[in-house]
Each structure stands twice: as C-alpha cells, then as structure tokens.
Structure 1
C-alpha cells in the first residue's frame, strides 16, 4: 500500500504546500510509505485538475490518497463530485483525510472492518463534499453582493493589480514567450494576458 499526498490551493498567491509537513507527520506516525506529492493551485470547484488526476493514474488498487481536508479534494457541484468519486472508486483508491477520523481507522483494519469503514467513509465524504460545495457557493454569492453594493456606493475599484507578477509577464512577452508558456508559468488568465499585451503595445494606459 503506497500513499500519495494531494495538496491544493485555490490561487497562485496561496501556498498549496502549507499542510505538507502535517500530512507527512501523520503518515510517519502510522507507518505509511509516501511515494509522491501532487501539488496544484486550482479551484476545488473545478473538475479538471491535472495533478489530482495524475495522482489517480499513478495509484494502484488499495493505495491511499492523503489530504488535509475534504474541501482540498472537492468543492464540486453534485454532478462533478459524482464523476470524481466514481473515478476514485474505479481505481480503488482510499481517501484518508485529517478531518475525517473514520478514514484513519480504516488504514490498518482487517478486511471486514475495512469494508465497514469504507461504506461509512463514502457517506461522510458525500456529506463533507456537499458542505464544502455549499460553503464555496455561499462565499461567491456574498462576494458578488458585496461588490454590487460597493459599485452602487461608488466605492468599488476592482481587484488590486498583482504588479510583481504582471511585470514578470511583461518581461516574458518581451522575450518572445508563447501565451501558453506564460499562462502555465504564472497561472494568469487569457483575459489578463490580453490586457497586458494591449498595455505593452501602448493601447491601454494604467
């Protein structure tokens, strides 16, 4: 049984590796052999996450995916969570989350007890994934309401510019880097890159 750590943060400005030491300590205390760490900066509400699916492809039946919290794995809507869970089940990967104690107990259990815990964990994962998805939706709604209120009051100025990142992007553009390479390296959106290209050409002043 091999163990693979999955680490995720929503944006490139956040530290996706923040919980790695805690997860490694957890694995060491239980004699779990870590064979890989998979890290990405992607929204948990996004189904297409390259590192998550690379972890699943690399795993064998009975291997463990170790995560800090269920919301690191999913903030997905119900349909997409169902597809991800089906893929996890198909590959027979066991999800162990620090915030789900019953998943810890299933690690060294006998076959009968392990199957019992697996059934319980499947139910708990569904509940926690649904809670995470609702929390994400609620926060987005509150953010939108706050922005709309600020706009009506004339106080909304938009998201602060990441000047350090944008300066690096402009240097990459000057050096002739392709859009695909720049997006992969910086995590910026195509709309941001397009705006910076226009600025570089002098058609946008800011």
Structure 2
C-alpha cells in the first residue's frame, strides 16, 4: 500500500519542480519516499528523531531544538532559533525561503494533536502548495488558477475554501459551478471523480484540494 501511495503521488506531482522536502512532527512517509524523491530534507525540530530512527539524515534541522535528541544532532547541520513566537514549521519555511529551497513538499502535516494539525494546515495554505500525507495529498489552488489532475475515476476528493473561495470544477460526480466554499461551514466533502481528467478552477480566493491516492 505504501509504495502504491508513493507511486500515485509522483504521478500527480512532478517531483523535479520541487527543491526540498519539509518534514514536520506528524506522521511521516516511510524511508522509501525520502530515498525516491532524493531531495534535501528540511526537518523541523520535532521531525528529526523520527527521520534518524528510520535511517534518514536530513539536510538541516531547524527549530528551538527542544525535541531532537542530542545524539542525532552530532553530525548534521542545525539552525537553532529559540524564538517562541513562531512555530518550528514557520522557522523551517523561513529557512527554506532564505536558502532557495522552495517550492517544497511538506510531510508530517497530519498525525498527533488536533490543535497542532489545525495549526499546520493554516501555515501550510499560507506559504506552501503541496503536502503528502499517505494515503492523501493536498494541493493549494491559487486565485484565478485552473489546475488539471489525472486520476482514476471514482477517486475521492474534498475541496475547501481557505478560508473562502469561488470554485468551479469539471470532471467530478458533484460539480461545482462558481460555488462559494467557506471553511468551516461550506465544503465539497468526499466528492468523486467522474472522468480520468478533472479540473478545479478558483475564480477568487484560495482552495485546498485533498485527494485520496488509494
């Protein structure tokens, strides 16, 4: 199942368009994903332990370093930022921005405490485009953007306004036609693809599409 997810994700996303993977302290893909992408890994403080324990060495560990085990930091680049007014996710994004490691694929968004997950999603949609959280991936469709996806028919997909958007679709079972999506009250939840190629057009605002890979 895991390899199937990785392969499906790579069919949706051109890995070569991305300059890094940004790892958070949530549920991470297995080591094969990191090996297959072969991109520099910007690890938030909390993700470092999990990465090292699966045999993956990040390019850099960023954060206040209150979670990473000291033995894992002996032979890796670290950027210690003690500022408590910003999360380790925000610090990692700032690092990736400064060192030309954007765009990035974000992993570890989900899993763990619900307040952390909610905060991660909020930061993600403000600064990033793609997250991978097997068996799903998320894609932020920008204002006035039309995004095409190729997927098997009957693939499950949910679309959210972030925080609100006017959205039209083509190729879904329950089409949207300049529909006002407003989080958290109005969303296109558990929709399905009706065609192998489907399209999301955002007229105004931003929309987050979450696609199920299997």
With normalisation by structure 2, the TM-score equals 0.32
With normalisation by structure 1, the TM-score equals 0.33
Q: Which has the higher contact order (CA 8 A, sep 6+)?
A: 2
Which has more radius of gyration?
A: 1
Could you say which structure has the higher helix fraction? 1
